[in-house]
Structure 1
């Protein structure tokens, strides 16, 4: 295959810039176009602001290949976010501004392949609609419209836990649908996302599954965790109903006399819930990168009971630390039942598995070793094999 000129474009630090880094490693990255890109030596930033900025940069990407917002555009975007607008209105404003910025750069770059993401691609895809020599790849980061439907249903089911979910506007929905129509190739990161998305995408569209890349930091040949008398059970992610935190509450309420329960992430439930549960759940709030590294040394088992997720990178982060995962089936296929964790559905399922692991530390250790090995399934080499098949299919 010839060396392609690939332009990756997205808002935020999608998948920790793994796609851009992959193409850069293969000497195919023509450009990364993004909104914020902070090389910290250029900025005097402190505390939480510095930590957020640190996530919007990748040392392995060359600056001359990255196009990002100038300072004036950053200020304008922050001002838009301060206005009294709904979440999807803010997204649409930001994403329209981003695609306009991205297009200005792309027209000069003459790419062979465009790799964009949900809700920040429409204007780009419209412009390149008739450019048959440009492959337009669209990465759908979540399972699609079903995510918003499930979120709404959960809000009605558990009104005491979370504030009323905003109704997603028709404009927002239409943007997403048009992106699907215009893309040459739709990529999702899990079988669950493919099944969910298939209900909304025209039958002539092929949806490709491409699991995430995970850049393993630890190179140990063997791995063994030490356990204290009381297991530390963790939840990592936005603390919300759609992430299944209601199940975590029920589990902690039942098992807190035997185990410790730790919740890491931004708290999105009603304020009263934290007050009611803080006696048996430790809330850490959002943590820095170093803070997350420390918490993964503490957690013995991760619970990921999501109702709807495109993949769930947290599963890989946990397993990279030898932490077994108890996950629902509504996310990326990382957990292999009774091997590196368990597939769970209800709070009772979680209680039963945790009780078994608490009493059988040999089994817990075995799960841990298997979890650590599982990360090899998401290496760059495995990703390359899968992705090359997709490229050959669409470029032939």
Structure 2
């Protein structure tokens, strides 16, 4: 493991995990550079455009990195996205093109920076956009760390089976092309270390034949918002049509997240004082009778800064994912003292019966069982809401300690 100071380069598309890796490194003086697709500081001219334009780009910034060395590609990104739209590229073709575009831009920057290092730096990059970066790094004699964002190809097999079970929800979903997974396996081969966020991810990577000696579990870091620290949650003595049990599903509305089981539960709970809030981008085909279901509140996509209101107003958070690298929304829900009903196929945030409940299986029947139980016993929700954030509340300092202990 290299020990020279200021020797990490972090590469990432988007604001994944609120820039937790570069933030942890920067706080300890170990971040040399952050290379990212977009960076919109408070002084950026992009902030003076109409608010309805480039809304997502406005969250591509973090004040913790204000003094960091950041190399973004704002102009190139806007040009790239416009070209993709004009060429009508969608789905995997667009995802792969974006990953390749980012790596091309990043390598130009790395080539300019490479002459300034007196010791081999550590290059960190997230999966599926790391292969060309790692090839470059290896040519320079650098160390490479792959941040694996999901459980890989085994997860896709789980999702494919779910789409076979529920073809009515298929919509525009397509499995990833073969070359996508070939590229991923090459990334894993070139990585000196593969960082996953949960034991579930580790298990599925090992099942896919990835070298287990390279895989290390580093839980997500999460800093609760200041407003959440003194938030007080209350529950009625009993639920009624006037004050129903509010069940929050927040995330992508896709089969991988367990939405089929949620909708199955909705149909069987017709007439009960239970209201489902489904917040997130819809990427499946919703049957007409569910689009207008009186117990479903379809909210659609919201920006990350707007999610707090839903955590605050809900009574229980439903996270029935079929597979997740971790599931950051669990930590967000816990920060607002919101009990969780979660699957076991993700990061271990829920301690069963303490700060929430774990589903043995992800299906409508299991969800119905828990919701009916809570409907008649709001005291369970009240007690769970009083529990402090438990498993895997990681800090920036703890994250940095974990990074320095990686087996490189």
Give the alignment's TM-score, normalised by structure 2.
0.89
The more displaced of 312-321 and 269-278 is 269-278
Alignment partner of 2:377 out of 336, 360, 366: 360
**Residue 137 of structure 1: CA displacement?**
0.4
Please name the residue that 1:83 is paired with. Answer: 87
C-alpha change, 1:16 and 1:220, in structure 2 (3 Å) is closer
Matches of 2:230 and 2:64, distance apart in 1: 28
Matches of 1:290 and 1:138, distance apart in 2: 28
Please name the residue that 1:124 is paired with. Answer: 133
Aligned-partner SS, 2:352 = coil
Please name the residue that 2:29 is paired with. Answer: 27
Matches of 1:168 and 1:366, distance apart in 2: 43
**Residue 50 of structure 1: CA displacement?**
4.8
**Residue 26 of structure 1: CA displacement?**
0.8
CA contact (8 A) 1:155 1:163 kept: no
Matches of 1:221 and 1:164, distance apart in 2: 41
C-alpha change, 1:376 and 1:178, in structure 2 (3 Å) is closer
Please name the residue that 2:39 is paired with. Answer: 37
Matches of 2:291 and 2:84, distance apart in 1: 35
Please name the residue that 1:148 is paired with. Answer: 156
The more displaced of 95-104 and 288-297 is 288-297
Aligned positions of 1:235-254 closer than 5 A: 235-254=249-268
Alignment partner of 2:121 out of 112, 129, 141: 112
C-alpha change, 1:222 and 1:66, in structure 2 (3 Å) is closer
Please name the residue that 2:165 is paired with. Answer: 157
Please name the residue that 1:378 is paired with. Answer: 394
Matches of 2:229 and 2:16, distance apart in 1: 30
Matches of 1:61 and 1:6, distance apart in 2: 14
Please name the residue that 1:58 is paired with. Answer: 62
Matches of 1:141 and 1:274, distance apart in 2: 35
CA contact (8 A) 1:224 1:365 kept: no
Aligned-partner SS, 2:225 = coil
Matches of 1:37 and 1:274, distance apart in 2: 42
Relative contact order (alpha carbons < 8 A, sep ≥ 6): 1 or 2 greater?
Answer: 2
Alignment partner of 1:168 out of 173, 176, 180: 176
**Residue 69 of structure 1: CA displacement?**
0.7
**Residue 47 of structure 1: CA displacement?**
3.7
Q: Does 2:407 match 1:388?
A: no
Aligned-partner SS, 1:212 = coil
Aligned-partner SS, 2:326 = coil
CA contact (8 A) 2:229 2:335 kept: no
C-alpha change, 1:50 and 1:65, in structure 2 (3 Å) is same
Matches of 2:227 and 2:376, distance apart in 1: 30
Matches of 1:184 and 1:273, distance apart in 2: 50
Unaligned runs of 5+ in 2: none
Please name the residue that 1:313 is paired with. Answer: 328
Aligned positions of 1:322-361 closer than 5 A: 322-344=337-359, 345=361, 346-361=363-378
Matches of 1:286 and 1:221, distance apart in 2: 26
Unaligned runs of 5+ in 1: none
**Residue 380 of structure 1: CA displacement?**
2.4
What CA RMSD, in Å, does the superposition of the two structures yield over aligned residues? 2.3
Matches of 1:326 and 1:333, distance apart in 2: 12
**Residue 204 of structure 1: CA displacement?**
6.2
Matches of 2:368 and 2:157, distance apart in 1: 28
CA contact (8 A) 2:196 2:219 kept: yes
C-alpha change, 1:227 and 1:48, in structure 2 (3 Å) is farther
Give the alignment's TM-score, normalised by structure 1.
0.91
CA contact (8 A) 1:151 1:165 kept: no
The more displaced of 13-22 and 276-285 is 276-285
Please name the residue that 1:216 is paired with. Answer: 224
Matches of 2:226 and 2:173, distance apart in 1: 40
C-alpha change, 1:312 and 1:221, in structure 2 (3 Å) is closer
The more displaced of 246-255 and 333-342 is 246-255
How many residue pairs get aligned? The number is 390
C-alpha change, 1:174 and 1:39, in structure 2 (3 Å) is same
